[in-house]
Amino acid sequence: MTELILGVLTFLTSTVAGVVGIGGGMMLIAILPSFLPLNALIPVHGLTQMSSNFSRAVFGYKDVQYEVIPKFLLGSIVGIGIFAAIINFISLEYVPLFIGAYILLSLWSQKFNDKIKKFENYYIIGFFQTGLSIVVGATGPLTMTILLKDYKDKDKVVATGAALMSITHILKVFVFMYFGFVFFDYIGIIVAMIIGAVAGSWAGTQLRDKIDGKKFTIILKVLLTALAIKVIVDVFI
């Protein structure tokens, strides 16, 4: 019964992500503590999100902007290597606060964007998004924030974001395997959630065509803003 419920919930959250490119993963990680022990939460979520994002990128492969992938991948490999090595020696308590503030300023402050331009690139975004993903659940918005500035076409934003987030989740899964997490212990739940994730990606890709570009940008900005505020508030609760 748990497998069926999680499969359906993953389908719904993956559909949301398929339409606007983000939000599904955060919705899912908010639900999972009711069904999984804490030590399994981030690994199982990571594997499911890998399936959701990778399938979304495959369904939209014509819109993926492949030129940004090598930059993001290099930054990601360096980031996850460094963070995996030092994770036990640093306090990450206030990292979500800085992520949330960065997203809000990036979305709504032109002065901030003018100053950050020379430093903001896919190497750095990959480094922080993937490196911090092993401990912080809300790094996905970093990618979507920069893509929203670089590309005006909604399909390019969603498909490229999915490809980049696939890299983050694939590397994260390898790290958890290295640290000894046994995914096979949760194989029934994982299979059900992967089926739901892929089906949701397909459904979301079909539904995305129903939204025009301007509405999509507004929806994505509002959703990113809400997620950023949630991340900041969670630090203090």
What is the domain range of residue 34? Answer: 2-236
3 state DSSP class of 79? helix
Rg (CA), the chain: 17
pLDDT digits 0-9 by tens, 174-209: 988 988 889 999 999 999 999 999 999 999 999 888
The amino acid that residue 153 corresponds to is D
- Indicate the number of domains in the chain: 1
Those residues whose C-beta lies under 8 Å from the C-beta of residue 103, and which sit 6 or more positions away, are 141, 142, 145, 224, 225, 227, 228, 231
How many Cα neighbours within 13 Å face the side chain of 228? 21
pLDDT digits 0-9 by tens, 146-171: 998 899 888 999 999 999 999 999 99
pLDDT tens per residue across all 237 residues of the chain = 889 999 999 999 999 889 888 878 878 887 888 898 878 888 899 899 999 999 999 999 999 999 999 999 999 999 999 988 887 787 767 777 888 888 888 888 888 878 777 778 999 999 999 988 887 766 778 888 899 889 988 899 999 999 999 999 999 999 889 888 899 999 999 999 999 999 999 999 998 888 887 788 788 888 888 888 988 888 887
- pTM of the entire predicted model: 0.86
